[in-house]
């Protein structure tokens, strides 16, 4: 997922972000959170916290799919 995101350049400016840049920034944040959650899942030993990792990962994946469908719907490239 990060390979897709790395191809999208966001220019850091002090102006407000365009809707496209906002969406790309949000996708990057979701991908970073997914990476962190995957690392947490790999290191976790407690079964209750493993369940929490799984639920968080599912939530982030649903958010990622929503944002990707929004890009396709809005025809953002």
Q: Is the dihedral of CA 50, 23, 68, 9 positive or negative?
A: negative
76 burial level (CB within 10 Å; 0-12, 13-18, 19+) = middle
In angstroms, the CA 67 to CA 61 distance is 10
In angstroms, the CA 60 to CA 66 distance is 10
Residue 39: its pLDDT value, please? Answer: 97
77 residues of the chain, pLDDT tens digit each: 555 555 555 555 567 778 888 999 999 999 999 999 999 999 999 999 999 999 999 999 999 999 999 988 877 65
């Amino acid at each position: 997922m990060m390979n897709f995101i790395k191809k999208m350049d966001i220019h850091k400016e002090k102006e407000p972000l365009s809707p496209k840049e906002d969406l790309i920034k949000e996708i990057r944040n979701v991908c970073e959170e997914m990476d962190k959650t995957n690392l947490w899942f790999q290191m976790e030993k407690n079964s209750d916290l493993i369940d929490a990792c799984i639920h968080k990962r599912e939530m982030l994946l649903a958010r990622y799919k929503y944002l990707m469908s929004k890009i396709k719907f809005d025809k953002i490239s």
